[in-house]
Structure formats: C-alpha cells, structure tokens
Structure 1
Amino acid sequence: MARSKELVPSVGRLSRSGVFAARALYKGAKKTTAAPAAEVPSTKEVQVGGAKNGGKRVVPTSKASRFYPAEDVRQPKKSRKSPKPASLRSSITPGTVLILLAGRFRGKRVVFLKQLESGLLLVTGPFKVNGVPLRRVNQAYVIATSTKVELSGFKVDEKINDAYFAKGKKSAAATAEEEFFSEGKPKEKEAFPATKASDQKTVDAAIVAAIKKTENLGKYLKASWGLSKGQYPHQLSF
C-alpha cells in the first residue's frame, strides 16, 4: 500500500499507528521463542601475571558503574523491633465481665476467657444468654467491670486460638459470563460449621452453670449498657 498522503507539508493523513496498520507488516512478523539465557555467575577466576600476585584472582563478572546518582536514594529504615502482644491489663482476669465499646455487639456485656497469642481477648456472651458468640476483641475497646464469673476448674480448649477464627478463601466465579449473570441474585449463605457450633455449646454449658450460681447475674449480662445525657464514663465506677 502507498504511504500516507500528506494533508499539508510534513503532516500525514494517517497517524503512526494508522500507517503501521495499513502496511500490515505485523501479519508477516515471525514469532520465535528465544531460548532462556544461561545464568551468568557473579564472579570469575582470572590468571594474573607476576610472581607476587598469587597467579589467580577472583573478580566480578560485570564491572560496577563508573557513575552514581547525584541525589541520595532514600532507603527504608530497617527496624530491629519484633512485634509483641500487648500485656493484659491487671483489671482483666479470666471470668471478668467486660463491656464491648465497638463492633457489632457494642454495648453488650461478655465474659472474658483468656488472652490469645496475638494479644486479643477471647470472650463469649455466652451466646445462650445474650447472643454474643465466641469472638476476639481488642482490650482497647472494652471496659472491665468489677463483676466476675467464677470459672474455677474451667479451661478453654487449646484448639480455640487465632487460627480458629481465620476465614476461608472464597471461590471466585469460574468465567466472566457466570459473574455477569450472578449479579442481582442473592448469594447463598454458607452454613455455620457444626464443629464451631458444638464448641460454642460446650463453652456455654460451663459458663451458664457458673452464672446460675449468682443471683440476677444472667439478667445483668442480658442488659445492654449505654450512657444517658449528662453521664460520663470516666466518672462512673464499673
């Protein structure tokens, strides 16, 4: 095909990509897969003349550049600190009733069971009493009360740890067509694992038995907490 005609001197009718498409040279381009380059060692051994030079010497394969950037390139600061879990507040001990200040169950009272390796607190409502299941909370978002549930002899199963609460990966749609037609349809809710339900019942059974030993403690855990007008949390005693 003839070259692009000029609209005006030195201004072509077609753009660079337009000329490339019109010539269609890409149709005859040979596509060859180059063999992967062999790995080159970083150093090599060379022969050095002179009686006092040892005869051989190890030198780098590629020489360093003679030039360097005029401006300093900022390097990230290396931290030698290792993250450690937060120490537990002295007011929080196993069996202490806590008030949640954030999250889905804010305002609910829960029973503290133990501190996990991550530093988070393992708490439960229990679920049978106020609907709060086994969950992890940050101690920065709880208020420790003076009320305590006697949990002598009760020990939480070791399998209930941070990995116990990890969420599984959701499988994505197989094709774009399935994803397109799935929009607008209600997603199927995954069934709650039976093993976790049985673990919840096991923990609840022991805690509910301890709650029944104290009069009105169950009603106290059921009641939600909140502030009225003119009340300030730092002026209240829990």
Structure 2
Amino acid sequence: MTAATKTPRYYPAEDAKPAKKVHLVKQNPPRIRKSITPGTVVIILAGRFRGKRVVCLKLLESGLLLVSGPYKINGVPLRRVNPAYVIATSTKIDVSQVDVSSITDEFFSRDKDEKKEGEQEFFAGDAPKPAVVSEQRKAEQKKVDDVLLKIVGSTEMLEGYLAARFTLSSNDKPHNMKF
C-alpha cells in the first residue's frame, strides 16, 4: 500500500470565507406625497426652523424638498428638507416665475478644501470661526426672494400667514385639523 497524500503542516487559524458577489441595487426614484407640489406652503416639523411655514419650490434629485421662507418674511433661507418632516397645507401659490433650475444638491455641498484639524491644532488654535454664507448663496437667495416676495405681496394676508409660527395648544386635536 502506498501512502495517501501528505497532510499539510500548516492549518489556517480561521476558516477562509469565499468572497461574496456584490450586487449593485439600482435605487428607485424618490416618491413624494401628492399633497406636496411646487408652490405648496408647508409647515416644517423638526430642526432649527420647526413650526415655520415655508414655500416648497421644487423636488431635488435626492428626494429632498427645496424650500424658502422667503428669508425676509420669516428668516428661513433656501434649504433642503426631508418630506417626512413637513405637513402640506391647502395653501398654494404660483411659483412658475421663480427660477430654481440652477439650484441642485451640489449647491448645498460643502467645500472639499476644508481640512480636519488634529488635536494639537485644536488646542493651539483660536476659537472656531462662525460659518460664513457664501456670496453665491446670498445672490441665489436674493434672486429667489425678489420673485417670491412679489407673489406673496399680491396675495391677501399671505405674508402674515407665512410669518406666523405654527403651534399646538393642549386643547388642539391635530387629527381633526384641516391644514
């Protein structure tokens, strides 16, 4: 009888797992509620501007909404908002004259040249500088607000409605309310 194949002298400490095949899943386009359309006045429910009424300008590719206060009326700048955190009201305005075609998700991205500071630089440096709004954002905000303010001014009592904060008291029943 001949000897069988020789056993290896080395055994791996862990079992070798076969490599998994990566299946790229194509993302479906985001769905949005039928009540939220460009020109709809929506109430922001969360975040810094919660309770503010803003005008929805368009739906971005990422599925977020582009909204604006206008800034002069209630202090809300051009922002992206998740549609899950807004309530659509029955108030609608015509925003077809507002040009927001140049505003995309990249408009809101941060600069890539911002570098992270290490521990030494953090303790050695001065206090962090406050965020400065770029001139491009200011120009876009002014361009959008000029048209929006004309539309809002031509509608009776809309300016006061947008300026007022939305709140609930203990006797309010939101499930019975018509927005």
Indicate whether the TM-score tops 0.5.
yes
User: Structure 1 residues 74, 227: closer, same or farther in 2, change over 3 A?
Assistant: farther
| Aligned equivalent of 1:230 | 171
| Aligned equivalent of 1:98 | 42
1 or 2 for the larger relative contact order (CA 8 Å, sep ≥6)? 2
Matches within 5 A, 1:134-213: 134-156=78-100, 158-169=101-112, 170-173=114-117, 177-182=120-125, 185-213=126-154
Distance 1:77 1:102 in 2: 40
Displacement after TM superposition at 1:171 (Å): 2.4
Displacement after TM superposition at 1:85 (Å): 3.2
Q: Larger Cα Rg: Structure 1 or Structure 2?
A: 1
The TM-score, its normalising length taken from structure 2, stands at 0.82
Letter in 2 for 1:233: P
Displacement after TM superposition at 1:96 (Å): 0.4
Displacement after TM superposition at 1:80 (Å): 5.2
Distance 2:116 2:97 in 1: 46
| Aligned equivalent of 2:62 | 118
Displacement after TM superposition at 1:227 (Å): 1.1
| Aligned equivalent of 2:27 | 83
Are positions 1:108 and 2:52 aligned together? yes
Query: Structure 1: which 5+ residue stretches go unaligned?
Result: 1-66
Letter in 2 for 1:85: P
Distance 2:18 2:170 in 1: 53
| Aligned equivalent of 1:41 | none
Letter in 2 for 1:116: L
Aligned length: 168
Displacement after TM superposition at 1:167 (Å): 1.2
The TM-score, its normalising length taken from structure 1, stands at 0.63
